[in-house]
Structures are given as C-alpha cells and as structure tokens.
Amino acid sequence: MAQGQQLGYQTVRLSFQTAEADTLKDLDSFLQWFCSSVTEELDLEDKLADYWKGARGWCVAVSATLRNTCWQKSTAR
C-alpha cells in the first residue's frame, strides 16, 4: 500500500463485516457491493446503476464501473 500511495494512488479500506451474509453468497451481489463501497470510500458519485443495467454481465459491469467512476476520478485529483 505504501508503494501505491507513493505513486499517487488512493487506497480504501473495506470491511467485509459490513456486507450482509447474503451479499457474500452471491457473486453478482458481492461485486455490486464491492464497486459501491469503493466508490463511496473514494467519495465519488455512485453511478453503479448506470453500468450494471442490462445483460452485459458482471465482468463488463465491474470493469465499466471502476474504469469510468473510480479510476478516472481518482487520477484527476
């Protein structure tokens, strides 16, 4: 983590204890929780619904959420 911070990356701490048990049992629910939690910890606007609609699949949804919300905003700071 120290190396990431030296390179200008932001870090977040997530506690899996804050996720409900059902969230951890379902991959789709877990990934939505993960993306939403990272976005919230970075104090960014939650646009999860914009990227998680339709039958795009969770892989595309996670990539789009992180790429278009977290990575772009955090590198602009």
Name the residue with tokens 């992180």: 66
Fill in the DSSP letter of residue 19.
S
Q: What token pair was written down for 67?
A: 């790429």
pLDDT reported for residue 23: 92
Q: pLDDT tens across 44-70, in order? A: 888 888 777 765 677 778 888 777 776
Q: Is residue 44 left, alpha or beta, with left meaning phi > 0 and alpha meaning psi from -120 to 50?
A: beta
pLDDT band at 71 (very low <50, low <70, confident <90, very high): low
Q: Is the pLDDT of residue 20 over 90?
A: yes
The model's pLDDT over 31-44, given as tens digits with 9 standing for 90+, comes to 889 988 988 888 88
Domain boundaries in the chain?
Answer: 22-76
Entry pTM: 0.72
Distance CA 68, CA 64 (A): 6
The dihedral through the CA atoms of 68, 35, 62, 66 has a sign that is positive
Say yes or no to pLDDT of 25 above 90.
yes
